Every structure is written in structure tokens, then in C-alpha cells.
Amino acid sequence: MAIGDILGGEDKDVLSTGNNELDKKIADGIPLGSLTLIEGENDTGKSVLTQQIIWGALKSSKNVDIFTTENTTKSFIKQMESMSLDISDYFSWGYLRVFPLNIVGFEWSEEQMEGILARLIDHIRNSRAEVIVIDSLTLFSEYAETNMILSFFTSCKNLVDHGKTILITLHTYAFEEDSLVRIRSISDAHLFMKKSLIGTKYVMVLEVQKVRGARRTTGNLVSFEVHPGYGMKVIPMSFAKV
């Protein structure tokens, strides 16, 4: 029996975020078997978006692996709980696995990076997880040459052709524009995150740059806030100055 049958959920040919308002803006969801790039500067909601997508994946009976340079396992689970996304059962039963990449005592280096990226690809290939999230790739970019990163994306693209659904976040500032153009081209979906001013406060804005095979028009803008104890709250764009 699938986890979605136990905890509630449904199977789709797209990866729902678990938030209906958000799904409507992202072509009904991320297509399964795709490579998605989530790009933006600091504090623009990249991790929040991936966590919402992870929730949708789990509710749709998918196994999920997340590799994070942003959290420890404990802080990741707490962060999800703060958005009213209780993943404790999924984590306890092994449907969600968290792999923190910032390990105390481990020093990153250029010499090690190629091997690390290769092992990461091997893990994704052999993992039972259908959905893989890497949040974020920025740390890797500090120690890996451009050709290594591009090769990594190409390998990920090969894996999604065999059924994996992979989402990768990165900070725009960490890559040269030429590299970004090539990475965006390799990706099946490209979601760009930024901040926008509404009155006297900033909100997060998601721009859907492309979704290959989308059933609905892309190019949509979604503005949202994150409220502790509630999660993501979509705000009408008519109120936002983008």
C-alpha cells in the first residue's frame, strides 16, 4: 500500500505543490520525470518553495530524498512544521530521507568536488526515491569548475529521462551569465524567485519562466508570504509592484 493511500493523497502525472492556488500558476504542477531549476537571490523563498513541493510529492505517494546545504535534519523538519507541513510520519517511515551536506569537520575542496558530484549522481540513480531535491547547488559552485556543474546537470537530465524528478535550487550570483544560460537550457522547468514591494513590506514572487510540456500557459507571476503556523499564502499580484 502506498503512503498516499494511508495518509491521504492522489496520483497525478504532475508533481503538485499541495497548494491549489500555487499549482494553478505552475501549469498545474511540475511534470513528473523532469529537471527543474529554481533560481534566485538570498531569502527569495527558494527553500520554502521546495519544501512545499516536497509536501505535495509525499501526499502524492512519492518517495523523496532531499540533499540540503541549508539545514540539518532537525532544523529541516522544524522548518516544515512551522509551515504547517507535518512530515514526521513520512520521515519516520522512510518515505522522506534528509541528507545534510554541511557536515562538521568536513572541508570542501576542488579536488574532492568531482568525486562528490559523481557519487551524488550514483545515489540519485540507485535511490528508490522518485523525487530528488538539491537545496542548494551554490556551495558546490564555489569548489567546482563550470564544466563539472554543466556535466552534473547533463547527468541529472539523463536521470529524469529514466523517470526521476529532480529539483535544484541555486543562487543567481554564484554563476556566470553564460553558465546560467546553459543551465536554464538544460532544465525542463525554470522557476525564478525574487522579492517585490507591497506597501511597506516585501513579499516573495515566483516567476514561471518555462515548463516544458505544460498543459497551461507559463510566464505567470505568483506572489506569496510565509506565515508561521499557516505556511504559504498566495497574494493577488494586483497588489504587488513587480
CATH classification at residue 173 = 3.40.50.300
Structural domain contains residue 87 = yes
Region of residue 9 (phi > 0: left; psi between -120 and 50: alpha; otherwise: beta): left
Q: Above 50 in pLDDT, residue 43?
A: yes
Dist. CA 157–CA 161, nearest whole Å: 6
Beta carbons of 223 and 196 less than 8 angstroms apart: yes
Q: Are 137 and 169 in contact (CB under 8 A)?
A: yes
pLDDT at 242 over 60: no
pTM: 0.89
The count of residues in the chain is 242
Domain contains 220 = no
In-domain check, residue 200: no
**131 found inside a domain:** yes
Give the whole-number percent of the chain exceeding pLDDT 90. 53
In which domain, by residue range, is 175 found? 3-193
13, part of any domain: yes
The whole-number pLDDT of residue 192 equals 95
- Nearest Cα to 77, choosing from 105, 56, 59, 54? 54
Q: Please report whether residue 226 resides in a domain.
A: no
Summarised one tens digit per residue, pLDDT across range 59-107 is 999 999 999 988 899 999 999 999 889 999 999 999 999 999 876 555 6
Q: What is the mean pLDDT of residues 164-185?
A: 94
C-alpha cell at 95: 518515505
Q: Which of 134-148, 162-176, 204-218 has the highest mean pLDDT?
A: 162-176
219 domain-assigned = no
Neighbours of 109 (CB within 10 A): 9
Establish how many alpha carbons lie within 13 A of residue 165's alpha carbon, considering only the half-sphere containing its beta carbon: 22
Domain contains 70: yes
Where is 121: in which H helix or E strand?
A: helix 110-126
Instruction: Give the pairing type, strands 231-235 and 221-227.
Output: antiparallel
Residue 1 has pLDDT above 60, yes or no: no
103-160 pLDDT tens trace = 655 566 777 777 889 999 999 999 999 999 999 998 888 888 889 999 999 999 999 9
In the chain, how many domains are there?
1
Q: Are the C-beta atoms of 133 and 67 separated by less than 8 Å?
A: yes
